[in-house]
Amino acid sequence: MAYEQLKLDNQLCFPVYAASRLITREYQPFLDKLGITYPQYLVLLVLWEKDAITVNEISQKLILNSNTITPLLKRMESQGIITRQRSGSDERKVIIQLTEKGVQMQKEAVKIPEELGSEIISEAMSVDDLLALKEKLYVIINYLNKKTPDNS
């Protein structure tokens, strides 16, 4: 091959992409039981940490454009997981809040990270290796996110 740097095996993006897809696939049986998609699960993780926040806050936390997250939130509202309400102080802002169903889903989801983590840790790597990988990925994420603060 004329350009060694163009080999798939020499790309940083491919193993990150492939690992992300494969990890998401491992989540699917758990999420199917909850009746949600992986992106919806991410929204729930944000809301379980801090409820009643704006669409913009969720978008920033998940590094997604609001026009990407809005249809997702509409589906979650139709499923009875969240409510969307215009802010009383600034009607340009939409506040997202968990319903009782959304709150209850946390009790069902609490075991997901441990079950997935124990599978990866026991078969592929140590806890320390996994934590070090996560920290290194956050270094990359934070660097790249600072380069594109509008998340586009």
Residues 46, 66: Cα–Cα separation, whole Å: 15
Which whole number is the average pLDDT over 76-99? 95
Residue 84: beta bridge partners? 96
CATH number at residue 22: 1.10.10.10
- Summary mean pLDDT of the chain: 92
| Domain membership flag for residue 93 | yes
Task: Determine how many CB atoms are found less than 10 A away from the CB of residue 81.
Answer: 24
User: What pTM does this model have?
Assistant: 0.89
How many structural domains compose the chain?
Answer: 1
The residue segments making up the domain with residue 102 are 7-147
Q: What's the pLDDT tens digit per position in 40-67?
A: 999 999 999 999 999 999 999 999 998 8
| Domain membership flag for residue 1 | no
| Domain membership flag for residue 139 | yes
44, 106 in Cβ contact below 8 A? yes
Task: Determine how many CB atoms are found less than 10 A away from the CB of residue 125.
Answer: 13
